[in-house]
Structure 1
Amino acid sequence: MPSDDHAEEIQRQRWAVGARLRVLRRERGYSQVQLAERIGIDHRTISRIENGVHATDIDMLWRISNGLGVESWQLFRDE
């Protein structure tokens, strides 16, 4: 079972990826609904990822990055 410190770090990383997703999405002028439609998922999933609530997998992050027209590593880049 992960330690509390480990669990907190995982949550921080979820928030960081979600915040980066929100920035990239807005820079490209997409609403959550528009991005979700582009990649064939429910818009609530985008919201949950952006808010750090949803622990997503690499396949979904790849779909999102493709939908945004960015490399998947850009979702992890800290600015």
Structure 2
Amino acid sequence: MPSDPLPDWVLTRRRVIGDAIRAARGNRQLSQEKLGELTGLDRKTINRIEQGTHSTHLDHLLLIADALNVPLADLVR
């Protein structure tokens, strides 16, 4: 069971991952809504992931990477 509250470094990494997703989405000129359509995720979920306020599933990250046509490693660097 993760500690509560989570360590600061976890929250920082979430934001870094969110920034990478936002940048890749911008490079593809996709809105959060369009990325949501491509992944089957709600736009609000995309927003929470990009803001780093949402603990996401690996499956969601895989769907996002596929929709953005980037390797998963590029998003979780």
Identify whether the pair has TM-score above 0.5, normalized to the shorter chain: yes
Give, in whole Å, the separation in 1 of the partners of 2:41 and 2:61: 12
Over 2 Å off, 4+ runs = 1-4
Q: Which amino acid aligns with 1:46?
A: I
* TM-score where L is the length of structure 2: 0.90
> Which position in structure 2 is the counterpart of 1:24?
24
Aligned-pair RMSD on alpha carbons?
1.6
Give, in whole Å, the separation in 2 of the partners of 1:22 and 1:43: 13
* TM-score where L is the length of structure 1: 0.88
> Which position in structure 1 is the counterpart of 2:58?
58
Kindly state the Cα deviation for residue 3 of structure 1 after the two structures are TM-superposed: 8.1
Q: How high is the sequence identity, in percent, across the aligned residues? A: 34
What are structure 1's unaligned runs of at least 5 residues? none
Give, in whole Å, the separation in 1 of the partners of 2:40 and 2:31: 14
What are structure 2's unaligned runs of at least 5 residues? none
